Structure 1
């Protein structure tokens, strides 16, 4: 029982001193508190005013990603985020929030661009290799679909670039390039 009480004191101390990283998260290594159940750790997290954002398996146990309930958190898929030094916590949280919004728009367009490029090239190449102009409407329809997908690829790339530009216009004064 002494080990459990000691682990709980150490957990409480760590959470009291926890500082969020620039992505708005704190990583808690639960293997440091093996004497505690996950329910005990969860109670300590809740009592300290944190919520569990995600859980990452590690070689020694589980890493919990924590955040304050009102804090916007970023993930790897949101791209790099390097805020300027000296931002207040509200400015930093707003910058993270807007960064995440623009990252979603950018990622969506990049995904569409990839889809359009792959299938556009496959269809275009198959049309050029399998059919000839003598095949009539089948050739021109397949060629038209391939070209349309490649045009949609170009449009998605322009929209992705536009999302990056708008991001810099909105939060460029708060983040490093």
Structure 2
């Protein structure tokens, strides 16, 4: 086997292996600190499919959904999923083991339906999620133009924080004046029901009062949520920067290191070897430093807002258990 062929073979094996190592180094950060993927997302998809089966099997104009069967879906997601098929939310009943959401069938093209009235009703009952927004599915109001919907949104005291792909029409991400919003690439945050809806559960309200007495903060307070979202955004920006640096240094340093071993020549003097080898080594050391900084940033974020988020998740689970 010629020396040139051996080098090519080495490059084919070493470079993919190095890139794989780079992915392994960065993946734990993405998995641990990024948006939850994997099993929770599969559960959400499974529950959305189950909700669709319940909708298809519904008979008559009234439908009851036990929210406890769809714990991975937020109230807004559940109502939007049914709303785009003409099911309008009309009320709820909270029991010890059930949280019944009641809907009535009122498609937009039904005789006597009033899209403006239905839109006003939804906006009046809408609550901010933990990310500081409410998702409005405009397909439910297909007989209204988008400017009309936006005018109704503004009249109800809401602001349009952004647009999302919703199929034939965009969905509107709404918020309130003075609310800190967490939206955009690289943003990951706690998931769960809106604090306003949690306040409807007596056991949750009682536990929140205990937490406030014990720890000095109210996990259901709008002002506290604004502060926590702002601090999360502060730490997330710094964390993402270090992750990107660690990824860049690892990939570039790994590729250069692989190229060095694949192409080094016996006639290179010791000084040249050290210089050429030193560049990828320095890059890999910088990758380690960036990873260390990212870990420290996460720990500082946890010390800053971790107790608040843990208290909220406790309340969310308490509400879901009924």
Judge same fold: TM > 0.5, yes or no.
Answer: yes
Superposed CA deviations along residues 106-158 of structure 1, whole A, max 9, x for unmatched, are 11111111111111100111012112463245543331110111011001001
Task: Give the equivalent residue in structure 2 for 1:78.
Answer: 187
**Contact 2:131–2:189 (CA<8 Å) still a contact in 1?**
no
Instruction: State how 1:137-176 maps to structure 2 within 5 Å.
Output: 139-176=273-310
Task: Give the equivalent residue in structure 2 for 1:94.
Answer: 227
2:153 is the alignment partner of 1:48: no
2:126 is the alignment partner of 1:18: yes
Q: Secondary structure at the match of 2:173?
A: strand
Q: Secondary structure at the match of 2:136?
A: strand
Instruction: State how 1:93-132 maps to structure 2 within 5 Å.
Output: 93-132=226-265
**Contact 2:160–2:175 (CA<8 Å) still a contact in 1?**
yes
| Shift, 1:103, TM fit | 1.0
TM-score under structure 2 length normalisation: 0.50
Name which of structure 1's ranges 137-146 and 51-60 shifts more when overlaid on structure 2: 137-146
Asked which structure has the greater CA Rg, the reply is 2
Name which of structure 1's ranges 73-82 and 121-130 shifts more when overlaid on structure 2: 73-82
Q: Figure out how many residues of one structure are paired with residues of the other and give that number.
A: 174
| Shift, 1:21, TM fit | 0.9
TM-score under structure 1 length normalisation: 0.88
Cα RMSD (Å): 2.3
5+ residue gaps, structure 1: none
Name which of structure 1's ranges 44-53 and 159-168 shifts more when overlaid on structure 2: 44-53
| Shift, 1:58, TM fit | 2.0
**Contact 2:133–2:175 (CA<8 Å) still a contact in 1?**
yes
